[in-house]
Structure 1
Amino acid sequence: MKADPATQRRLLDLADVDTELNRVAYSRTNLPEHAEIDESEDTVRTRQDAQVVAETALSDLRRELARQEKEIDQVRARGKRDRELLDAGTVGARQVVDLQHELDTLTRRQGVLEDELLEVMERAEAAETDVRFAEDRLAESREALAVVTRRRDELLADLGTQESRHAERRATLTNGLPADLLALYERIRAQKGNGAALLRARRCGACRLELDRVAVSKLKAADPSEVVRCDECGVILVRTVESGL
């Protein structure tokens, strides 16, 4: 295959652009923010679970409070009824004894229930503190996630701008290149990661290996328009005054 030496030199610019495009693609995939976001999302999920646990505990205690308050109200109502019967003086002596005994029992029961209610109220107060703490922790983790997400999005936007600029430059460089030369370049790039490199001081710019005497002799004898390749890595070798031939 033959191509004008000036056209071959355009492959070096194309290779530089492709290197930049590869760098952008690598950066997009390997931003540290991706890992930070994963970690932040894990933290958010963990703290969401902790909040649910705290809220569930508080809800259970509130139900227990409501149950105990209802039971205390029932005991008080029963005691009030018994006292009213005693005060009315309409019951017999035996019933008076029974009512008084029941009142004593209800009084003791009310005292026990009120002590238990106080304990549950204290536990509920502590549970409310736990819920507020869990809510604050969750809010902190969500804000941290939002911050790193914004930073990632800004970086991705910048990389997108770079990619667009390089893609436009690439389109300009490939426009007008001989179809067979471009096809060869693209095929080598797909296989090797690099399609063309400068031969400088008898050393391949892609694999960095110095050409042996046989290869140098062949290149010296080759027509300047001949498209040549590195015997070691297979890329198109672009010859210039820097090649040392």
Structure 2
Amino acid sequence: MNADPSVQLRLLDVQALDVKLDQLAHRRATVPEAVTAQELAAEHKEISDAVGAVETELADLGREQRKADADVEQVRSRRDRDEKRLQAGQVGSPRDLENLQREIESLTKRQSDLEDAELEVMERVEESGKRQQELQARQAEIAGKLSVAEQARDASYAQIDTEISASHTERALTAEGIGADLLGLYEKRRAQFGGVGAAALRNRRCEGCRMEINASDLQKFAGSPPELVLRCEECGRILVRTAQSGLPGA
């Protein structure tokens, strides 16, 4: 393949811009603010899930407390009626009186047990309420930090995207006039060799693989016409001659 030496040198400029674009893409993918925002978002979700679990727990405890209150009130009302009957002397026979007194004793104990259970539920409601408040406070704190991190992330993205856009424009202008065949070969080599498809020949060394060119290849390169597109025998990349190539007789 042949190409004007000036066009081959321009290919190195395209390569430099492609390296810059790769670096910008890497910077965008590893923006520290984005990592921070991602970590905060995960923590916020975890806390939000915990808040949701506590809210469900409080709803269940609310139903349990209402039932406990109703049970206590039912037993208390029944015991109050029995005590009123007892105090009003509405029980005729000694046996009925004894049965009523036993029932009152049983209801008193039942009421005490139910009130203990009711108190236990109330304590659990209080504990869950405190935990809910703590989680909600933490949730609000993380939400604030997340908002700041997202703003910083978006600012970094905007700056990098501006650089990417400018570099793409410059790359397109620089690539104008480079033949489709040479540019296609460059793109193919670039895909094969980690983003570097063309390298300069400087001081008898390929700057793509950093290997020194052997003497026979140097002689062959020196004897070839300037328009001939060279390839590094070591790595296969396009090798572009420069003023510092170090070719014999240059």
The interval holding the TM-score normalised by the smaller chain is 0.7 to 0.9
Q: CA deviation at 1:16?
A: 0.5
Distance 2:180 2:67 in 1: 85
- Tell me what 1:76 maps to: 76
Partner of 1:130: 131
The reply to whether residue 112 of structure 1 matches residue 113 of structure 2 is: yes
Alignment partner, residue 225 of structure 2: 223
State the shift of 1:13 in Å: 0.8
Q: Does 1:11 align with 2:23?
A: no
Which deviates more from structure 2 when the two are superposed, residues 216-225 or residues 149-158?
A: 149-158
Q: What's the counterpart of residue 59 of structure 1?
A: 59
Q: Which SS does the other structure have where 1:134 is aligned?
A: helix
Give the Cα separation in 2 of the matches to 1:130 and 1:92: 56
Distance 1:183 1:68, change over 3 A: closer
* Alignment TM-score, normalising by the size of structure 1: 0.85
How far 1:87 sits from its partner (Å)?
Answer: 4.5
| 5+ long unaligned stretches in structure 1 | none
User: Could you tell me how far 1:220 is from its partner in structure 2?
Assistant: 1.7
Closer, same or farther: CA 195–75 of 1 in aligned 2, 3 Å? same
Contact 2:7–2:177, Cα closer than 8 Å, also in 1: no
Aligned equivalents of 1:230, 1:112: Cα separation in 2: 91
Give the distance between the partners of 2:40 and 2:117, measured in 1 at CA: 42
Question: Matched residues in 2 for 1:58 and 1:177: separation?
Answer: 71
TM-aligned CA deviation for residue 68 of structure 1: 1.7
The Cα offsets for residues 151-200 of structure 1, whole Å up to 9 and x where unpaired, read as: 33333332222211111111101112222222222222222232222211
Contact 2:14–2:175 (CA<8 Å) still a contact in 1?
yes
Distance, in Å, in 1 between the alignment partners of 2:38 and 2:241 is: 48
Range moving further from structure 2, 157-166 or 28-37 = 28-37
Superposition RMSD in Å: 2.5
User: How much does 1:228 deviate?
Assistant: 1.6
By how many angstroms is 1:90 displaced? 4.2
Aligned equivalents of 1:2 and 1:237: distance in 2? 13
Shift of 1:66: 1.4
User: How do residues 1-245 of structure 1 correspond to structure 2 at under 5 angstroms?
Assistant: 1-32=1-32, 35-94=35-94, 95-192=96-193, 193-245=195-247
Counterpart-to-counterpart distance in 1, 2:189 and 2:107? 95
Partners of 1:234 and 1:111 lie apart in 2 by 91
Report the CA distance between 1:126 and its aligned residue: 1.6
Point out the more displaced range, 51-60 or 117-126.
51-60
